[in-house]
Amino acid sequence: MKQEAIDRANKLDSLDPLAQFRNQFHFPQKDGKDCIYLCGNSLGLQPKATSDFVNEELINWQNRGVEGHFTGNKPWVSYHKNSKASLAKIVGGHEHEVVAMNNLTSNLHLAMASFYQPKGNRSKILIERGAFPSDFYAVYSRIENSGFNPKEDLIELEASDGSEYLSTEEIVKKIEDLGDELALVMFPGVQYYTGQFFDIQKITEAAHKVGARAGFDLAHAVGNVPLELHNHNVDFAVWCTYKYLNSGPGGVGGLFVHERNGKDIELTRLSGWWGHNSEARFKMDNEINPIPNVDGWQLSNVNILSHASHLASLKVFDEAGINNLREKSVNLTNFMEELILNSDVLQGQVKIITPSIQQERGAQLSIYLLNHGKSVFNYLIDNGVILDWREPNVIRVAPVPLYNSFKDALAFVSILEDAIANEG
């Protein structure tokens, strides 16, 4: 690696106002050293505060038993409210529009029960070709369970030029072409494979213009890129919290429902005890009286230990600020991209399939190996770099601004060069 690049990485790290947050996370070890962890788009690192947050609730359980529901610093009966302010800032919504509950796919099914109501000619759902499997399965089964035919009513859009990039113009045109046949547009915020950050505002506007609903899977967007779900008039969004939100494997999911929809208590929904009038909850009168906001989609009481882990990470986000993280993310991802594109060793060996325009990507570069296979990925793993592999030939790299440094980016590219050179 050229000395100029080394000096630049050192300078950028010395000027980084968020550098201190790296020390708030545990890093996996390799030969007694911190690994270069670039896999936050699959599972974020554990904040060091997580054990304290979880242990607090274990102690409450130990000392209070069932009384923990109504006593202590954070009574369990209202525990879901503790994350609302932080989540509202991260997704660009109001507190009464966001709630942490269940997991992503469960929340997607709950949301579609309300926002996919096919009738007559309006029965189609538009997704992207190559959607994440859990989204595809959920959408497919929702169409089928609604008495319609997913072979006809599930529309998968792919780029007309055969590339991995799906332009906003093509998405909008497809929405316009489907017109009054379209019931729901269901897109990711950030596409898991390519890392493309879709234009949520324009997609939502196009959907509403033809009378359809707009929902988004934010699994790879939440905690990664700034969002404005309320201002962009999104009908609903779902997400997981174990990727960029660092809330632990299988951690609690999240749901956004725009306030105009939350107020509509006549809107069809799958109901549960926790989604009904909290003041009358323990009167056990079985009166149907849904809470007139996103909380009306809750089913059951909160998984306290999972939510406690979630709160530990959200505290870090409150301190860092999503806009500050985005600024570093852009610089960090740009720096890594520049190193790859300027590498003599990597020329003609790899192709970055993530959009080059910084407004159209988050903290991810998807690197397609042109002349090599998974042995390159294995070399990286063996040399202390943790990232992930996606078939057929893509290494996904996530330089996360909360805990990754510019030296991490430099070290990764250097080891990638070694891996390619090692294969001759």
Which residue bears the tokens 């906003």?
168
Half-sphere exposure of 198 (CA within 13 A, CB side): 33
Q: Do 146 and 291 share a domain, yes or no? A: yes
> Do residues 8 and 391 lie in contact, with contact meaning Cβ atoms separated by under 8 Å?
no
pLDDT at 424 over 70: no
> Do residues 389 and 419 lie in contact, with contact meaning Cβ atoms separated by under 8 Å?
no
The residues, any chain, with a CB within 8 Å of residue 10's CB and separated by 6 or more, are 406, 407
The residues, any chain, with a CB within 8 Å of residue 391's CB and separated by 6 or more, are none
pLDDT score of 194: 96
Q: Do 340 and 290 share a domain, yes or no? A: no
- Tokens representing 136 are 């595809």
Q: Do 99 and 223 share a domain, yes or no? A: yes
DSSP label of 79 = G
Closest C-alpha to 398, from 368, 362, 372, 373 = 362
pLDDT score of 281: 86
Q: Do 97 and 215 share a domain, yes or no? A: yes
CA dist 2 and 242 (Å) reads 36
Strands 388-390 and 394-397: antiparallel
Q: Do 302 and 343 share a domain, yes or no? A: no
DSSP label of 303 = -
pLDDT score of 423: 81
Domain that holds residue 351: 3-34+321-422
pLDDT tens track for 354-363: 999 999 999 9
Which residue bears the tokens 């507190």?
95
Q: Do 224 and 308 share a domain, yes or no? A: yes
Average pLDDT along the chain: 96
pLDDT score of 140: 98
Q: Give whole-number Cα distances, 405 to 333, 339, 382, 414, 415, in Å.
A: 11, 14, 20, 14, 16
CATH, residue 313: 3.40.640.10
CA dist 3 and 359 (Å) reads 30
CA dist 96 and 93 (Å) reads 8
CA dist 102 and 104 (Å) reads 7
* Domain contains 42: no
CATH, residue 398: 3.90.1150.10
CA dist 407 and 14 (Å) reads 11
Q: Do 191 and 204 share a domain, yes or no? A: yes
Q: Do 223 and 116 share a domain, yes or no? A: yes
**Domain boundary, last residue among 263, 295, 318:** 318
pLDDT score of 38: 98
Percent of the chain with pLDDT over 70: 100
Which DSSP helix (H) or strand (E) runs through 30?
Answer: strand 29-30
- Tokens representing 86 are 């932080």
* Domain contains 45: no
Q: Do 91 and 126 share a domain, yes or no? A: yes
Residue 315, number of CB atoms within 10 A of its CB:
16
* Domain contains 44: no
Number of H helices, E strands in the chain: 13, 15
> Do residues 135 and 217 lie in contact, with contact meaning Cβ atoms separated by under 8 Å?
yes
Q: Residue 62 burial by CB count (10 A; 0-12/13-18/19+): exposed, middle or buried?
A: exposed
* Domain contains 415: yes
Question: Average of pLDDT values for 414-418?
Answer: 97
* Domain contains 40: no
* Domain contains 47: no
Q: Is 361 helix (H, G, I), strand (E, B) or coil?
A: strand
* Exposed e or buried b per residue across 155-168, where buried means at least 16 C-beta atoms within 10 angstroms of its C-beta: bebeeeeeebbbbe
Which DSSP helix (H) or strand (E) runs through 104?
Answer: helix 104-115
The residues, any chain, with a CB within 8 Å of residue 262's CB and separated by 6 or more, are 96, 97, 292, 293, 294, 296
Q: Do 293 and 340 share a domain, yes or no? A: no
* Domain contains 387: yes
10 φ, ψ to 5°? -60, -40
Number of domains, the chain: 2
Q: Do 102 and 14 share a domain, yes or no? A: no
Model's pTM, two decimal places? 0.96
pLDDT score of 228: 98
Q: Do 396 and 278 share a domain, yes or no? A: no
166 φ, ψ to 5°? -110, 105
> Do residues 392 and 368 lie in contact, with contact meaning Cβ atoms separated by under 8 Å?
no
**Domain boundary, last residue among 290, 318, 346:** 318
pLDDT score of 362: 96
* Domain contains 41: no
pLDDT tens track for 381-412: 999 999 999 999 999 999 999 999 999 999 99
pLDDT at 113 over 70: yes
Closest C-alpha to 184, from 240, 142, 225 = 142
**Domain boundary, last residue among 277, 296, 318:** 318
pLDDT tens track for 267-310: 999 999 999 988 888 888 888 889 999 999 999 999 999 999 99
Residue 332, number of CB atoms within 10 A of its CB:
22
- Tokens representing 33 are 């050293």
